[in-house]
Amino acid sequence: MAEAALEKLVIAISSRALFNLDEEHLVFEEQGLEAYSAYQIEHEDTPLERGQAFALAKKLLALNDIVSEPFGVEIVLLSRNSADTGLRIFNSIEHYDLSITRAAFCGGESPWRYIQAFGCHLFLSSEPGDVKKALENGVAAATLVSKPLNHSSTPTIRFAFDGDAVLFSDEAEKVYKSEGLAAFTASEQAQRKEPLMGGPFKSFLSALHLLQQSIPAKDQLIRTALVTARSAPAHERVIRTLRAWD
């Protein structure tokens, strides 16, 4: 199934990131699983409120209107809910007209282990523990930090990447941590023409770049940035690495 989506950018989003399940989670914590299940079933026709990842998911899926197959974006839903209690989640997906068709309902288990099976390039979750597990298993993942929802109408999507140990491998960072700034600078100067190895987010960047290339120039809505503590002369190796990856 993952092979069919090789040309697509595939992003896994947890149900608690896509929708606001704080009230429901409180029922689970205070009253237990049985009460939670009953609550979800009782309210399964009531759409859930939008969560922290909702706006991003909506914008990403909208890109499918301006790109042609086999390119595009797919959102995969991962949830700790069971298929039974998860019906409310899919009803909410239908309510908001989100083109999400693939999901894994894990019955209380952490969903991170399904990320690679779905061929996902990125996992977004509000659960730091799940994100940590994904990263430990070589999957690009990020924790969504709770903040007031931004209902900006702009369709532009912006991604900012950290450099060493994120987009790139941690080979240079290890030199800095073990030998200090002077040794790091000398090492980077000596290897300035040798591309850095990829880090956990390289495959996501590659898929994102492929998506960017499939979007007509006049409709380009994806913006990327590299945020790094590197300064000259250590910048040269980064630039040459990105050139080599292009």
Sign of CA dihedral 100, 85, 145, 109: negative
pLDDT at 15 over 70: yes
Question: Which domains, and CATH codes, for the chain?
Answer: 2-143 (3.40.50.1000), 157-245 (no CATH)
Q: What is the pTM of this model?
A: 0.86
Q: Give tens-digit pLDDT for 90-107.
A: 999 999 999 999 999 888
Q: Which residues are catalytic?
A: 162
Give me the pLDDT at residue 1, please. 35
Residue 86 vs residues 22, 35, 146, 208: alpha-carbon distances, Å: 15, 15, 23, 29
Q: Give tens-digit pLDDT for 23-79.
A: 888 888 888 888 888 988 999 999 999 999 999 999 999 999 988 888 899 999 999
